[in-house]
Structure formats: C-alpha cells, structure tokens
Amino acid sequence: MTQPRRGAITTATVGAAFLMATSAIGPGFLTQTAVFTAQLGASFGFAILISILFDLGAQLNIWRVLAVAERRAQDVANDVLPGLGHLLAALVALGGLAFNIGNIAGTGLGLNALAGIDVRVGAAASAAVAIALFLAREAGRIMDRFAQTLGLVMIALMTYVVISARPPVGEAVLRTVAPLAIDPLSIVTIVGGTVGGYITFAGGHRLLDAGIRGRQALGRVTRAATLGIGVASLMRILLFLATLGVVAHGATLDPANPPASAFRHAAGDIGQRIFGIVMWAAAITSVVGSAYTSVSFLRSVSGRIDRAPGRAIIAFIAVSAVIFLLVGRPVTVLVLVGALNGLILPISLGAMLVAAHRAPIVGDYRHPRWLAVAGGIVALAMAGLGARVILSIDL
C-alpha cells in the first residue's frame, strides 16, 4: 500500500499519539491519580514509574504487530483463534459505551466547574460538539488536531497548577525509586486506565486508517506509541505533583471530588476554573477517542458500519449522551465493566504476542525477543491482578 505524503504522515503520527494519550486522560484518570496520591503520598511515584514501563510494554507490542499485520486488532485476533476477535470487539465496544457515559458526565461537570452551567446542559452541548467533529468532511484530520490542541492545553494548565502547589520534588524523586509503601492495586488501576480497554487501540487503529502500516512504517509506529505514553505519563506526573504539593502542605482532599479540591487548594478560585477546563478537555477528548475506537472494532462485525463509520460514531456518542441524560451515571455498571476492562488488556496483548510469531499473519517479520518477553510479563501480571479485582467485587 502506498504511504501518505510526509506532511500527512507527521500529522497523523502525532495525532495518533495524542488520540491515545487524551483517550487515557479522562475523568477517571484525574480522580484515580488524586486519590492514590492522597493515600500513598510521594510513594505513588513508584506506582507511576512501574505503570509507565508496563504501558510501554503493552503499547509497543500491540501497535507494532497491528502495523506489520496491516489489519485491526479484532481481525488479527480472529486469525489467532476464530471468534476471539469478535469477543474482543464485544468487550471493547461494551466497555467503551459504559465509560463513554462517564466521559459525557465529565464534560458536564467540567463546564459546571468552569462557568456554573447545569451539568446536563453542559453534557448535551459537549456531545453536540463531539458529533459536529465527525460531521466534518475531513473528520480524521480534525480529530488529530483536536486531540493535540486540547492535550497541550491540559499540560500547560497543569504545569501552572504544579508551580502553584509547590510540591516536595526531592521527596517525590526519592520515593519513586525507594517507596515507603507499594500498592499493587494502584498499579493495575492506572495501567488499566492508561492502556486498558479501547485506549490500547486508539492510536494503533488511527495509524492504520491514515495508511501508516507495513514494516517500512515501524519506526514511525514506535515513535508514535512512545510519544502517546509519554504525553499521558507527563500528565499523570504533573497531576501527581500538584496533588502531592497540596497534601504535603496539610490540606485534605474532598472525597466527593478529589481532583477538583486539589486544584482549588493549589491555586484558589483560578484553580477551580482551571479544573473545569482540564476536566472538560479530558472528558471531551475521551468521548471522541472512545467512540472512534469502539466503532473501529465494530467495522469488522457489520458491513453497514464499515461503509459509514462516521454515522456509527455519531450514533455511539448520541446513545451515550441520551443514557446519561435519562438515567445519570450508572455507577454499578461502570464498576463492573471497569473490572472487566482490566481483563481486556491481557486478552488483547496475549493475542498480539501470539500473532507476532505467526508467519501467515506477519510474514517474515521477526518480533524483538526482549519486547515479546516484556509484553508477556505485562499480560501475565495484568491477568492475575485483573482476576483478583473481579473476584473481589461484591455482587
């Protein structure tokens, strides 16, 4: 297949990285980071370090295999084991829909914090913005720019909040390599929140749709995956430092909305406004990423969806918004699907690792042994911890 021109390649590569990163940086991402920082203090830096290594191990394996196979994850999984791809598509779409309801809620909460807009009105307006993006003729390119712009805005605002919070950076660095406490649950939670479920495939599928595929594209694919993890990790670190600064100076986070109270303690009234912007940007980009990626999995299941993916994405966003507006955020469903989401990564990563060594799928491509070993460790660790979470749920 002919590769797109250089400028288009650069735009799509960076866009795919930011789509993956901003898909990860949602309302749950903000809340989890604030809560675990309050619980573990500077030692949460160790969990972030381990999660970054796990994230890279998962993302580099999956994106490289998809690029070489030149097919989406569900099609590759079906070649590994007939029916596995359909199961993966169902899990990703189900999880994507459930979490998208939470993302829609997050947009409403963000606008409420920013300008006092009613949460439901803000959520409906934000859903309309996301739908308008996919009504545009060059929706893919606009989506890339949208993710990049809001991603950079979030990083800039978080940097300001970190400076205002005056965190103990030296202590954070020390406890990142010499923690006083290690919480396995915090690691599996933030790994799942960064590369779990649909998030793992957001950038990889975007590269395929942009025509960046094949062995000749592996360098660009690797750089895009690394950039995506880098952006998401930078945002995690900034939020960690901001919250750590607040906690270190004696403030107590509001359990009803930990990240909002962290911003408010760090920067006062302006911190509250910044939280609104960051929450809205995090939520709206996750709405876009979730809808796009979930539908990309359904394209192999339905010919109608494959012929008109834009319409299916719009319907996906609309359904998510309607469910939220009618019944609010279904907490029980989100918890159950969240646990299920933790099991999607080992299933999908395991399938890609098997595919990496099947000549009918990847030809004569030789997958780096160190990368396969790293991916295997991540898959096994996440499978064990994910199962533990599932078994701990009180139905």
Neighbours of 367 (CB within 10 A): 18
246 vs 381: CA distance, rounded Å = 32
Burial code of 297-324, b = ≥16 C-beta within 10 A, e = fewer? Answer: bbbbeeeebeeebbebbbebbeebbebb
311 vs 286: CA distance, rounded Å = 18
For 343, the token pair is 């099991």
Condensed to tens digits (0 to 9), the pLDDT of residues 206-217 reads 999 989 999 999
Listed in sequence order, the DSSP H helices in the chain are: 6-24, 27-40, 44-69, 73-80, 84-115, 119-135, 139-165, 169-177, 184-195, 199-209, 218-248, 258-298, 303-307, 309-327, 331-355, 359-362, 369-392
In this predicted structure, the answer to whether residue 30 has a pLDDT above a threshold of 70 is yes
Neighbours of 7 (CB within 10 A): 8
pLDDT value of position 288: 93
Q: Are 43 and 181 in contact (CB under 8 A)?
A: yes
In this predicted structure, the answer to whether residue 11 has a pLDDT above a threshold of 80 is no
Burial code of 47-70, b = ≥16 C-beta within 10 A, e = fewer? Answer: bbbbbbebbbbbbbbbbbbbbbbb
Distances (CA, A) of 55 to 30, 130, 164, 239, 373: 17, 27, 29, 18, 14
Q: Are 68 and 214 in contact (CB under 8 A)?
A: yes
With cut-offs at 50, 70 and 90, classify the pLDDT of residue 357. very high
Q: How many residues does the structure list for the chain? A: 395
In this predicted structure, the answer to whether residue 337 has a pLDDT above a threshold of 70 is no
Parse the chain into domains and list their residue ranges.
6-392
pLDDT value of position 96: 86
The reported pTM is 0.89
With both helix axes pointing from N to C terminus, report the angle between 184-195 and 27-40 in degrees, rounded to the nearest 10. 160
Q: How far is CA 5 from the centre of its chain?
A: 28
In this predicted structure, the answer to whether residue 394 has a pLDDT above a threshold of 60 is no
Q: Which CATH number fits domain 6-392: 1.10.287.110, 1.20.1050.10, 3.10.20.30, 1.20.1740.10?
A: 1.20.1740.10
In this predicted structure, the answer to whether residue 331 has a pLDDT above a threshold of 80 is no
Q: Are 97 and 294 in contact (CB under 8 A)?
A: yes
pLDDT value of position 332: 46
Question: What does the pLDDT average to over 154-182?
Answer: 94
Q: Is 213 helix (H, G, I), strand (E, B) or coil?
A: coil
In this predicted structure, the answer to whether residue 152 has a pLDDT above a threshold of 60 is yes
Give the CB-side neighbour count of residue 255, counting CA atoms within 13 A.
Answer: 1
Condensed to tens digits (0 to 9), the pLDDT of residues 55-96 reads 999 999 999 999 999 999 999 999 999 999 999 998 888 888
195 vs 230: CA distance, rounded Å = 12
Question: What does the pLDDT average to over 344-359?
Answer: 92
